[in-house]
Structure 1
Amino acid sequence: MHKKPIIIGVAGGSGSGKTTVAKEVYRQFPEQSILMIEQDAYYKDQAHLPMEERLKTNYDHPLAFDNDLLIRHLQKLSEGKSVEKPVYDYPNHTRAEEVIPVEPRDVIILEGIMILEDDRLRDMMDIKLFVDTDSDMRIIRRLLRDINERGRTIDSVIDQYTSVVRPMHLQFIEPTKRYADIIVPEGGHNHVAIDLMVTKIKTILESKAML
């Protein structure tokens, strides 16, 4: 009989270190028992829209995500069925043609800025984490990342942060902190919190193995 996987949500603002936390937890387990799903892969398909419309997309708003598809995929994985995870094509602001096959696992880490915003997603999670990092650190990390990895200018990053990222964070992301079971300060640098999470997951896995 198939055992339902443990679903762990890792939320937090842009540049909070949530991806680092999720990857650190993932790294502590043998690959065969754990998988990671990024909410970023589930941005809505915009192939039907002209490019000038796609460029207006606010990626920091809940409506940018295709949570219906994400929920269907989590349900299938929970039933022991494989899914095809979408790939997002950022330069073209729409979903790519290719998909990534994902097999069911004992533990699913779901990582993203808005995962605690949707009550349907929250209800599927066994453990909910919110990575809480001061806004000055988050803007510094975002600046470095977007300039070094995405070829952006300082002015464009700051303009986007003040006009979109910050107000969306305050409106949609920060309030979801109240839904978290565990709040992790200082993101990926908080090794104590990561160790506690890993220990908790191992305990759950061991108890499942005995059933």
Structure 2
Amino acid sequence: MTKKPIVIGVAGGTGSGKTTVAREIYRKFKDKSILMIEQDAYYKDQTHKTMEERIKTNYDHPLAFDNDLLLEQVQKLLSYEKIEKPVYDYANHTRSKEVITVDPKEVIILEGILILEDERLRDLMDIKLFVDTDADVRIIRRLMRDIEERGRTLDSVIDQYTSVVRPMHLQFVEPTKRYADVIVPEGGQNRVAIDLMVTKIRTILEEKVIL
């Protein structure tokens, strides 16, 4: 019987460094059979809504994600079937007509703020990580990213953080920490934790006779 791929979930608040951790793990195995799926690609299609309605979308709420599609596509990858991963159009606040073909691999990294929130997804994971970073560090990182990369104003970022991001983090993201097998403090700066994870993944892969 063919052994199923390994699934690693990497969660954490916005600006926690979860993406950096996921990318570092990916980079360590990039010459092997590995792929990364970002939960952000699975924001729900909103073409049926007006632009005004789309702009009001709370992207930090579990209901913003099409977890049914994500679950279906991860299950296909686990059966070694290729998928057509959606692409989200942030300018138009809806799903793009474009898709990305993703071939199955032996290691699947699922990364996103709420990737551990859905029990159906958690049940597919072999390893669950939560990247835990102090709130003041996360808001500073978000400020820098949104101002430098997304052209946002300081006031708009602070307003969004205090009115939406922070309450959603406390209500939905932070509680998923209890599902994690490993909590990684300080995100991508934590070389020891990343190296330990890489060693663990390498051991599992060796047991599957993949490396």
TM-score relative to the length of structure 2: 0.98
Q: CA deviation at 1:30?
A: 3.3
Please list the CA deviations of residues 161-187 of structure 1 after superposition, one character each: whole Å capped at 9, or x if unmatched. 000000000000001100000000000
Please list the CA deviations of residues 141-172 of structure 1 after superposition, one character each: whole Å capped at 9, or x if unmatched. 00000000000000000000000000000000
The correspondence of residues 35-54 of structure 1 with structure 2, limited to 5 A, is 35-54=35-54
Q: How far apart, in 2, do the equivalents of 1:17 and 1:187 lie? A: 4
Q: How far apart, in 2, do the equivalents of 1:8 and 1:158 lie? A: 32
Runs of 4+ in 1 over 3 A off after TM superposition: none
Q: How far apart, in 1, do the equivalents of 2:78 and 2:205 lie? A: 15
SS in 1 for 2:123: helix
Q: How far apart, in 2, do the equivalents of 1:53 and 1:186 lie? A: 36
Q: How far apart, in 2, do the equivalents of 1:46 and 1:32 lie? A: 36
Is 1:146 aligned with 2:146?
A: yes
Percent identical among aligned pairs is: 78
Please list the CA deviations of residues 89-122 of structure 1 after superposition, one character each: whole Å capped at 9, or x if unmatched. 0010000111010000000000000011111111
Paired amino acid for 1:82: K
Paired amino acid for 2:112: G
SS in 1 for 2:209: helix
Q: CA deviation at 1:32?
A: 4.2
Show structure 2 runs of 5+ residues with no match.
none
Alpha-carbon RMSD across the aligned residues, in angstroms, is: 0.9
Q: CA deviation at 1:2?
A: 3.5
Q: CA deviation at 1:3?
A: 2.5
**Residue 127 of structure 2 aligns with which residue?**
127
Please list the CA deviations of residues 29-76 of structure 1 after superposition, one character each: whole Å capped at 9, or x if unmatched. 134410000000000000111111111100000000000000000000
Paired amino acid for 1:21: V
Q: How far apart, in 1, do the equivalents of 2:194 and 2:73 lie? A: 26
SS in 1 for 2:183: strand
Is 1:158 aligned with 2:158?
A: yes
Query: Is the Cα contact below 8 Å between 1:130 and 1:180 reproduced in 2?
Result: yes
SS in 2 for 1:124: coil
Aligned residues: 210
SS in 1 for 2:137: helix
SS in 1 for 2:98: strand
TM-score relative to the length of structure 1: 0.98
**Residue 169 of structure 1 aligns with which residue?**
169
Q: How far apart, in 2, do the equivalents of 1:30 and 1:188 lie? A: 17
Is 1:191 aligned with 2:165?
A: no
The correspondence of residues 1-211 of structure 1 with structure 2, limited to 5 A, is 2-209=2-209
Relative to structure 1, the CA distance from residue 102 to residue 32 in structure 2 (aligned partners, 3 Å threshold; closer, same or farther) is: farther
Show structure 1 runs of 5+ residues with no match.
none
Paired amino acid for 2:84: E
Q: CA deviation at 1:4?
A: 0.5
